[in-house]
Amino acid sequence: MRTPASFTTQAFDFVARQKVGGVSLSYFILKQLPALSPDIFTKPDIDFIVSRVLELTYTAYDLKAWAAALGYTDSPFPFDPERRAQLRAELDAYFAMLYGLSRDELRYILDPADAMGPDYPSETFRVLKHNEERAFGEYRTRRLVLAAWDALAEKGFRPG
């Protein structure tokens, strides 16, 4: 069994982009991707991840059964783009730590030029970076993910 929440993270996406050579993802390639085994997750890990995934996914009454299966019986969460960006950043930072990445490795994944210098010839999430620079005047995802990393590190989070 794989952990689907990890499939949505920047770290997972980075590795998938290195493995997938075309436009389809075969089962053979999927089996090689770095999905974390469910048995590594502690109760605090599960609480952290599930609370954020629930808020990101339960935005309409159509998903009431999903929310109830996770133990949530209140109304759907409002669809707030700023809050959603923050939640995704927290998940990205958390999973990067679970993968055992350093902050510099995460910086490289988010933007190789940020980690290696402006002349570095590689880009990871070029479209995301370009769209966010146009919309927000900055690469917001990088800022939010690294701030979430710093907040987790300040709280003393250490995976495992």
Distance between CA atoms of residues 60 and 97, nearest Å: 31
Give the structural domain span for 101.
39-154
Is the full-model pTM beyond 0.95?
Answer: no
Written as one string, the DSSP assignment of the chain is ---GGGGGSHHHHHHHHHH--SS---HHHHTTS-PPPGGG--HHHHHHHHHHHHHHH--SGGGHHHHHHTT--SPPPP--HHHHHHHHHHHHHHHHHHTT--HHHHHHHH-HHHHH-TT----SSHHHHHHHHHHHSS-HHHHHHHHHHHHHHHTT----
Q: Does residue 2 belong to any structural domain of this protein?
A: no
Residue 20 lies inside a defined structural domain of this protein: no
32 within a domain of the structure (yes/no): no
In a domain, residue 139? The reply is: yes
Q: How sure is the predictor about 3, in pLDDT bands with cuts at 50, 70 and 90?
A: low
Residue 22 in domain:
no
Q: Is position 4 within any domain?
A: no
Residue 82 lies in a domain: yes
Q: Does 134 fall in a domain? A: yes
pLDDT, tens digit, 9 for 90 and up, residues 12-69: 777 776 667 777 777 777 777 777 778 888 899 999 999 999 999 999 999 999 999 9
Question: Is the CB of residue 114 less than 8 Å from the CB of residue 142?
Answer: yes
77 to each of 55, 71, 145, 146, how far by Cα in Å? 6, 14, 22, 25
Report pLDDT digits (tens) over 84-114. 999 999 999 999 999 888 999 999 989 988 8
